[in-house]
Every structure is written in structure tokens, then in C-alpha cells.
């Protein structure tokens, strides 16, 4: 029994988040502007030429772009076969799309707000740039040429809008079309198995890192903080939702971790608690070979499903 792409994509889809944000930066060297490359010139350029708008004007846009990125990562696993893509289990797709649509709405609202102020921002920045260049240039003509060059780097309001984008694509990787293409099928099986193993290791490592973090805290004595316990429980919920490969060891140890975290509550963790976490860590760091075989069996046994669009 050999895994195929079709087996893998019965359980989930690949999501690729596409973001573009204009940061109002230009790259022009001092000599390009007819200025002497000196410390004073580099200072002037850092004020006026490298940034065409203050960085704080982009804070709200970046805030919602980061939120979209967190949304995708929260519901998915890294998909190493395609750079930047993420594998989303089918049951996570609905909640993810709901969050992404909200993130996109806020992102677009922030972009609209920036474009509404764009002409004002430009009119306020140009005098600052002009003064900085005059202070740095050896003669007025060089400063004037530099200023004209930088003015030309400002796009129109309509052009600025096209420089911001937040979207996503969902797709599946297709397998070999016929069993007669033996080499292709064999290579496909190797690729899929490698990716499944990688995703199993990802989940186990995330659990192990959280366990290690808690153990470092318990070694210092005292109670575990409420936010630490909540973070650990959130991680447990996330890993359970992402364990579509059917890693039995991970499922057992995550259940054990949940039980340990629930039992410790407001109490100071004792030796039994620490021992239990160390046992969990040891189980999760054991060979994943059996987990891959288990995943292969689980995935090959799934029925067909329609790819979300």
C-alpha cells in the first residue's frame, strides 16, 4: 500500500496566503541623485528618500495582515512540498475561511483609510525630504535634481491601491493519472510519505516544546500562571484538530497532557506532575516510523471528498 496525493487530499486542502503591502520605500543611491556619498547624505536619505511615508501610517494595515497569517497558521500545518503553502484539514477549512474573510475586511478598511490620507501624507513629507536634501547637498542644483527624482517615486492614489492585496488560494496536488506510470507513482508515494512524516513531526515537536516550557517553569517552583495553562490548553485543542494523520501516540499523549494540566489547576505542581510531563516528552520523541505507517493506513482508507472552492 503506497500513499498518493489523492489519499492526502481526501483529508485536507492546501491554502496559499497571498499578501502584498506597499511600504513606501525606495532604493536610490546617493550617486544616483548626483550627491556625494557621505555620512550627512546617508542621514538625509534615511529621513526622506528611503521612506516616502511615516511607518506608523502602515501599522493598522500590518496588524490585519499579521492577523490573517496567524489565522492560517493556527488552523494548518506547513506543507513542505510548496514554499509558503499550508495544509489545512478539511474540518478546519470552514472556521479558517470565516476568520480570513474577517481579516480581509479589516485589512481593506485599513488600506482605504491610508489611501484617504495619502495625498495629505505626501504633501507633508515632501517639504521634509526637500529640506533634508538641501542640507546634505553641496549645491542647490544637486538638491533640486534629487528632489525631482524622489517626487517621481510617489505613485498616484489609484496606483497605490493596486499595491495592497490580501487573498488566498486553495488547491490539491494531483497524483499520477495511471498505474502504468510506475516510476511516477513510486516517486509520488515517496513524496507524499515524506510530507506526511514531516507533518507528524511538526505536531509532535510543537507538543514537546510546550512540555519543555512547562517543565522549565515547574523546576523553579511555585504555581503555573493562568495564562501558561490557557496557552497550553489552546495548543492541545489545536493539535487535536490538526491530527488528521491519525497519530495514535500523539493522540494519547495529548490526552495525557490535557489531563495533567486540568488536574494541577491552582496547585503547585508536584514531582508526579513533572514525571508525567517527562514521560509524555519521551513518548513524543520516539520513532515516528510507526506513526507514518498508521497515517498511511488511515489516509488510504478514507473515502472520496470534493475539494473546497
Identify the CA nearest to 24 among candidates 136, 109, 124.
Answer: 124
Query: Which numeric CATH code is attached to 182-300?
Result: 1.20.120
Domain boundaries, the chain: 16-171, 182-300
The predicted pLDDT at position 38 comes to 63
C-alpha 291: how far from chain center: 26
Identify the CA nearest to 79 among candidates 20, 19, 15, 18.
Answer: 15
Kindly report the number of other CB atoms within 10 A of residue 216's CB atom: 9
| Weakest mean pLDDT among 66-75, 142-151, 212-221 | 142-151
Regarding pTM above 0.85, the answer is no
Mean pLDDT of 283-301: 84
Percent of all residues in the chain with a pLDDT value above 70, rounded to a whole number: 82
Mean pLDDT of 70-89: 90
What are the strands of the beta sheet with 165-171, ordered from one edge? 77-78, 86-89, 12-20, 165-171
Say how many residues make up the chain.
Answer: 309
User: What does the block give as the cell for 160?
Assistant: 497605490
| Weakest mean pLDDT among 30-44, 165-179, 193-207, 242-256 | 30-44
List of long-range contacts for 176-179, beta carbons under 8 Å, 24+ apart: 176/4
DSSP letters for 87-146: EEEHHHHHHHHHHHHHHHHHHHHHHHHHHHHHHHHHHHHHHHHHHHHHHH-SSHHHHHHH
DSSP state of 295: H
pLDDT band of 2, cuts 50, 70, 90: low
Answer yes or no: are the C-beta atoms of 40 and 225 closer than 8 Å: no
Per residue in 87-117, pLDDT (tens digit) is 999 999 999 999 999 999 999 999 999 999 9
In angstroms, rounded to a whole number, what is the distance separating the alpha carbons of residues 172 and 149? 46
Amino acid at each position: 500500500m503506497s500513499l498518493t496525493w489523492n489519499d492526502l487530499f481526501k483529508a485536507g486542502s492546501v491554502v496559499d496566503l497571498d499578501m502584498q503591502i506597499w511600504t513606501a520605500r525606495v532604493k536610490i543611491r546617493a550617486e544616483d541623485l548626483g550627491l556625494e556619498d557621505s555620512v550627512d547624505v546617508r542621514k538625509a536619505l534615511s529621513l526622506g528618500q528611503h521612506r516616502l511615508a511615516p511607518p506608523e501610517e502602515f501599522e493598522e494595515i500590518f496588524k490585519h495582515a499579521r492577523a490573517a497569517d496567524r489565522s492560517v497558521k493556527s488552523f494548518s500545518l506547513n506543507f513542505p512540498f510548496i514554499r509558503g503553502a499550508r495544509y489545512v484539514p478539511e474540518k478546519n477549512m470552514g472556521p479558517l475561511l470565516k476568520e480570513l474573510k474577517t481579516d480581509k475586511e479589516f485589512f481593506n478598511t485599513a488600506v482605504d483609510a491610508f489611501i484617504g490620507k495619502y495625498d495629505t501624507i505626501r504633501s507633508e513629507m515632501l517639504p521634509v525630504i526637500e529640506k533634508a536634501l538641501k542640507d546634505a547637498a553641496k549645491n542647490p542644483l544637486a538638491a533640486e535634481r534629487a528632489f525631482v527624482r524622489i517626487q517621481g517615486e510617489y505613485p498616484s492614489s489609484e496606483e497605490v491601491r493596486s499595491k495592497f492585496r490580501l487573498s488566498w488560494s486553495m488547491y490539491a496536488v494531483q497524483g499520477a493519472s495511471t498505474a502504468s506510470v510506475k516510476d511516477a507513482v513510486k516517486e509520488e508515494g515517496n513524496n507524499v510519505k515524506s510530507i506526511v512524516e514531516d507533518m507528524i513531526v511538526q505536531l509532535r515537536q510543537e507538543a514537546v516544546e510546550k512540555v519543555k516550557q512547562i517543565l522549565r517553569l515547574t523546576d523553579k517552583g511555585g504555581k503555573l500562571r493562568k495564562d501558561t495553562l490557557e496557552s497550553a490548553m489552546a495548543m492541545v485543542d489545536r493539535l487535536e484538530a490538526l491530527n488528521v494523520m491519525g497519530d495514535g501516540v500523539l493522540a494519547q499523549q495529548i490526552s495525557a497532557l490535557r489531563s495533567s494540566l486540568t488536574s494541577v489547576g491552582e496547585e503547585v505542581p508536584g514531582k508526579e506532575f513533572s514525571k508525567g510531563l517527562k514521560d509524555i516528552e519521551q513518548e513524543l520523541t520516539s520513532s515516528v516510523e510507526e506513526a507514518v505507517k498508521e497515517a498511511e493506513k488511515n489516509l488510504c482508507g478514507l473515502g472520496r471528498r470534493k475539494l473546497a472552492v
